[in-house]
Amino acid sequence: MSSQVVVGTQWGDEGKGKIVDVLAENADMVVRFQGGDNAGHTVIVDGKKHVLHLLPSGVLHEEGACIIGPGVVCNPFVLLEEMEKLKEGGMSTDHIIVSDRTHILMPYHCYQDQLEESAAVNKIGTTKKGIGPCYADKYARHGIRYHELKDFEHFKERVHENLKLKNKLFTEVYNAEPMDEEKIIADFEQIRSRILPMIKETTSVINKAIDEGKNVLFEGAQACMLDINYGTYPYVTSSSPTSAGVTEGAGVAPSKIQTVVGVVKAYSTRVGEGPFVTELENEKGEWIRDHGFEFGATTGRPRRCGWLDLVVVKHAHMLNGLTDIVLTKIDVLTGLDELNVCIGYEIDGQILDIVPSDQEEVARAKPVYKVFPGWKEDITKIERKEDLPKECIDYIDFIEEYVGVPVSMISVGPDRVNNIYVKEIK
């Protein structure tokens, strides 16, 4: 391998963190290219649980460089908190680099996110981590980037000019309290010396590594259906979590991306608002939530659960150009008598196999299911695909056939070691 991308193919929480941790074993560099601390990636190593929000999940391998790329919106307070947790566990954080082009997610972005969500008639159900407001400022061209922290007088001026406008918004539009500029500056003064040594130019570093044949792994957060352009807009996040996001978010040309690994959870989940065609708002959905421990790692919210939607996964393949699928959490389905897999949407009497752009249409869609028999045997210790129950193999083979991408790895438990390797991911 020299450049691999790992992306989510559904609504997030597919188990990307675990898979990145596994693939990072062979990586010289792991790079986050979009999103922020709205992500929650759980990685279990030797029974110990690590929850990462901003740091790439490859951070647990201390040898390679760990880069927060220009396309990320990075809250420095969360970053330091996460690094502290790792240090308390005896791990090194010396390999963490923040791109000088990365935007600083400011305290006023979090506040704005909270106020906007509370006031909205049609709530998105954001994580309230300030992601949308920070990206909005970036594209409106008044965001503050990490290199601007180097000259603190300049940084203070930038905060002053931004906060003047934000406070008008907070007080005059939302009738809320203004934010205290002095406190914000004092908080940054406290952390600045710890942040400065991590700030580096990263685009040339990443490209040089690829050109030298080093192994570079790009870690996507969120997922295709939360993509700002191709997800269930407006119920999406504010970045591009697809393989295309690597191009702009890490500064790497499309021709340099070799492998695109789509992580597919064996059923569907969604956190927050928005249409969800295969949702099970019944005891079956609760059964999946209980067996899969489907509660958000970032907000603790129960995840909405439903059957696997292959219309969605095919949409993800079209947009990402998947070369491999890693199927996760198939162990969670053990014990069900029957499994449904969605292979089409019935909308106003017509059957579609693509995701419509209009969310009202998606909301009206009825799932067309193919039904599979379930299996009862525990599969969490199995190491070879051929040792899985026949019903389980049929389910996996159907996914492969329908999407047209090989299932190269099957994850059968949350630990780093619970995997079935089917085909080498190059």
Catalytic residues: 13, 41
Under the binding rule (CB under 5 A), the answer on residue 21 touching Mg ion is no
Length of the chain: 426
Residue 362 and residue 233 in contact, taking contact as beta carbons nearer than 8 Å: no
Tokens of 151: 């000259």
Residue 326 and residue 409 in contact, taking contact as beta carbons nearer than 8 Å: yes
Under the binding rule (CB under 6 A), the answer on residue 56 touching ligand GDP is no
Return the closest-CA partner of residue 390 out of 404, 406, 405, 379: 379
- 3-class DSSP state for residue 193? helix
- Cβ 223 to Mg ion, closest distance in Å? 9
Measured from the Cβ of residue 292, the count of other Cβ atoms closer than 10 Å reads 21
Rounded Cα distance between 112 and 125, Å, is: 14
Subset of 357-416 contacting ligand GDP (CB under 6 A): 411-414
Rounded Cα distance between 346 and 337, Å, is: 25
Among 6, 7, 11, 17, binds ligand GDP (CB under 6 A): 17
Under the binding rule (CB under 6 A), the answer on residue 38 touching ligand IMO is yes
Under the binding rule (CB under 6 A), the answer on residue 20 touching ligand IMO is no
- Cβ 415 to ligand GDP, closest distance in Å? 8
Q: Is the dihedral of CA 136, 141, 146, 148 positive or negative?
A: negative
Under the binding rule (CB under 6 A), the answer on residue 16 touching ligand GDP is yes
Among 112, 126, 243, 419, binds ligand IMO (CB under 6 A): 126
Rounded Cα distance between 1 and 426, Å, is: 5
Q: Calculate the alpha carbon distances from 93 to 56, 79, 80, 81 in Å.
A: 12, 11, 10, 12
Tokens of 52: 């990462």
Rounded Cα distance between 222 and 89, Å, is: 26
Under the binding rule (CB under 5 A), the answer on residue 37 touching Mg ion is no
Among 8, 9, 13, 225, binds Mg ion (CB under 5 A): 13
Among 56, 64, 262, 272, binds ligand IMO (CB under 6 A): 272
Among 19, 131, 316, 362, binds ligand IMO (CB under 6 A): 131
Under the binding rule (CB under 6 A), the answer on residue 105 touching ligand IMO is no
Rounded Cα distance between 83 and 198, Å, is: 12
Among 20, 55, 134, 221, binds ligand IMO (CB under 6 A): 221
Rounded Cα distance between 61 and 340, Å, is: 38
Cβ closest to ligand IMO, residue 36 vs residue 251:
36
Binding residues for ligand GDP, total number by CB under 6 A:
22
- 251 contact choice in ligand GDP, ligand IMO, Mg ion, none (CB below 5 to 8 Å, kind-dependent): none
Cβ closest to ligand GDP, residue 107 vs residue 274:
274
**Three-state secondary structure string covering 333-402:** HCCCCEEEEEEEEEECCEEECCCCCCHHHHHHCEEEEEEEECCCCCCCCCCCHHHCCHHHHHHHHHHHHH
Cβ closest to ligand GDP, residue 238 vs residue 328:
328
Among 1, 2, 25, 42, binds ligand GDP (CB under 6 A): 42
Phi, psi of 333 (to 5 degrees): -80, -10
Binding mask 325-344 for ligand GDP (x = CB under 6 A): ---xx-xx------------
Q: Torsion over CA of 223, 225, 228 and 229, rounded to 10 degrees?
A: 120
Under the binding rule (CB under 5 A), the answer on residue 40 touching Mg ion is yes
- 3-class DSSP state for residue 220? coil
Tokens of 271: 């956190």
Under the binding rule (CB under 6 A), the answer on residue 143 touching ligand GDP is no
Under the binding rule (CB under 6 A), the answer on residue 39 touching ligand IMO is yes
- Cβ 11 to ligand IMO, closest distance in Å? 6
Rounded Cα distance between 74 and 143, Å, is: 12
- Cβ 126 to ligand IMO, closest distance in Å? 4
Under the binding rule (CB under 6 A), the answer on residue 124 touching ligand IMO is yes
> Which residues in this chain contact ligand IMO in the complex, by CB under 6 A?
8, 11-13, 38-41, 124-127, 129, 131-132, 221-223, 226, 237-238, 271-272
> Which residues in this chain contact ligand GDP in the complex, by CB under 6 A?
8, 12-18, 40-42, 44, 293, 297, 328-329, 331-332, 411-414
